[in-house]
């Protein structure tokens, strides 16, 4: 075994030194751009926060207490839960159905796969500007409503309709990525299972329910976690389209953190909110790893 001598790990073994030498650049990169920022974020959440070290004071859990007793924060949390829940379910169901259809051999299959995947690689800022133009008061969507005899809707200035616009954009953006993920999962399921089920008289729905879904369990968990994290960190659509309005109805957690840090300059309070968001994301990743470990 590499680096083992007399039953103990030998850090000075030639092969161990070579391994650490090759790992050093990656470890330095991770330490500088990942571990240190996370550690500093956690430290900042226990301070007043300041542009200068001399203006920073340790205040313990005061930022977390202010966060948990702030009604605006809880409204943002409710907005984020609503946005995430309503986004994740269609972002899984629609791509799964498309993946099942596109997994079959037919003409234009490659073209359709590419067309569905294009939104995933499109800039969210550019898409947000286009979405804002589509749903403005005199935009194409309202012109279409008038053309079919319906009253126009004040999409972006309505506390009822502004959030569905962001949800629709998020679903559209995530659709292609999840479809590719499900296609990869479908192609990993052995074909002989479907052949055996067909010989036993199972119809298409029974094959999907008893073969496809169980075979896609790890893929479903992965897609659910990645989609949830994607929606939790949504910032660009809110910034470009609604700015958190109207009346704070579309203010999501990441935009709230940005606003507290760079508009209100309350860095410690923003760091506390960001730390809570990071804890939720880490919890989702832990759940994914546990499920994958059980399937291994």
Terminal-residue alpha carbon distance, the chain: 25
pLDDT reported for residue 294: 60
Q: Using one digit for the tens of pLDDT, what is the confidence trace for 136-193?
A: 988 899 999 999 988 999 999 999 999 999 999 999 999 999 999 999 899 888 888 8
Q: Using one digit for the tens of pLDDT, what is the confidence trace for 235-267?
A: 999 999 999 989 999 999 999 999 999 988 899
Q: Which two tokens stand for residue 175?
A: 């659709």
**Cα dist. 66→2, 251, 262, 282 in Å?**
52, 18, 18, 23
Q: Using one digit for the tens of pLDDT, what is the confidence trace for 4-13?
A: 444 455 666 7
Q: Using one digit for the tens of pLDDT, what is the confidence trace for 76-129?
A: 999 999 999 999 999 999 999 999 888 877 777 778 888 888 888 888 899 999
SS (H, E, C) the chain: CCCEECCEECCCCHHHHHHHHHHHHHHHHHHHHHHHHHHHHHHHCCECCCCCHHHCCECCCHHHHHHHCCHHHHHHHHHHHHHHHHHHHHHHHHHHHHHHHHCCCCCCHHHHHHHHHHHHHCCHHHHHHHHHHHCCCCCHHHHHHHHCCCCCCCHHHCCCCHHHHHHHHHHHHHHHHHHHHHHHHHHCCCHHHHHHHHHCCCCHHHHHHHHHHHHCHHHHHHHHHHHHHHHHCCCHHHHHHHCCCCCCCCCCHHHHHHHHHHCCCCHHHHHHHHHHHHHHHHHHHHHHHHHHHHHC
Residue 135: strand pairing partners: none
pLDDT reported for residue 147: 92
Residue 9: strand pairing partners: 4
CA angle at 55 for the pair 52 and 58, rounded to the nearest 5°: 115
Q: How confident is the model at residue 295 (pLDDT cuts 50, 70, 90)?
A: low
Q: Using one digit for the tens of pLDDT, what is the confidence trace for 32-69?
A: 998 999 999 999 999 988 777 777 888 889 999 999 99
Q: Cα-flanking dihedrals φ and ψ of residue 58, to 5°?
A: -80, 125
Residues comprising the chain, all counted: 296
pLDDT reported for residue 64: 94
d(C-alpha 235, C-alpha 257), whole Å: 10
Q: What is this structure's pTM? A: 0.85
pLDDT reported for residue 1: 43
- Once rounded to an integer, what is the mean pLDDT over residues 229-240? 91
Residue 47: strand pairing partners: 58
Say if residue 40 is preceded by a cis peptide, omega within 30 of 0: no
Chain-centroid distance of CA 64 in Å reads 24
């Amino acid at each position: 075994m590499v680096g083992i001598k007399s039953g103990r790990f030998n850090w000075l073994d030639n092969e161990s030194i070579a391994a650490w030498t090759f790992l050093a650049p990656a470890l330095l990169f991770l330490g500088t751009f990942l571990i240190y920022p996370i550690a500093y974020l956690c430290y900042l959440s226990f301070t007043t926060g300041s542009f200068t070290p001399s203006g920073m004071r340790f205040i313990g859990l005061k930022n977390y207490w202010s966060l948990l007793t702030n009604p605006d924060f809880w409204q943002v949390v409710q907005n984020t839960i609503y946005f995430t829940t309503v986004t994740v379910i269609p972002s899984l169901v629609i791509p799964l159905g498309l993946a099942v259809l596109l997994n079959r051999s037919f003409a234009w299959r490659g073209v359709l796969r590419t067309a569905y995947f294009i939104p995933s690689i499109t800039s969210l800022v550019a898409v947000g500007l286009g979405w804002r133009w589509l749903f403005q008061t005199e935009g194409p969507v309202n012109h279409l409503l008038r053309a079919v005899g319906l009253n126009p809707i004040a999409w972006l200035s309505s506390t009822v309709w502004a959030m569905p616009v962001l949800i629709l954009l998020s679903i559209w953006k995530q659709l292609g990525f999840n479809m590719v993920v499900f296609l990869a999962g479908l192609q990993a399921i052995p074909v002989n299972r479907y052949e055996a089920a067909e010989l036993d008289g199972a119809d298409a729905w029974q094959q999907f329910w008893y073969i496809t879904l169980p075979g896609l369990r790890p893929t479903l968990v992965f897609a659910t976690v990645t989609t949830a994290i994607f929606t939790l960190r949504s910032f660009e659509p809110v910034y470009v389209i609604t700015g958190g309005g109207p009346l704070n109805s579309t203010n999501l957690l990441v935009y709230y953190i940005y606003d507290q840090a760079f508009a209100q300059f309350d860095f410690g309070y923003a760091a506390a909110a960001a730390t809570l968001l990071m804890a939720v994301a880490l919890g989702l990743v832990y759940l994914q790893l546990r499920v994958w470990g059980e399937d291994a």
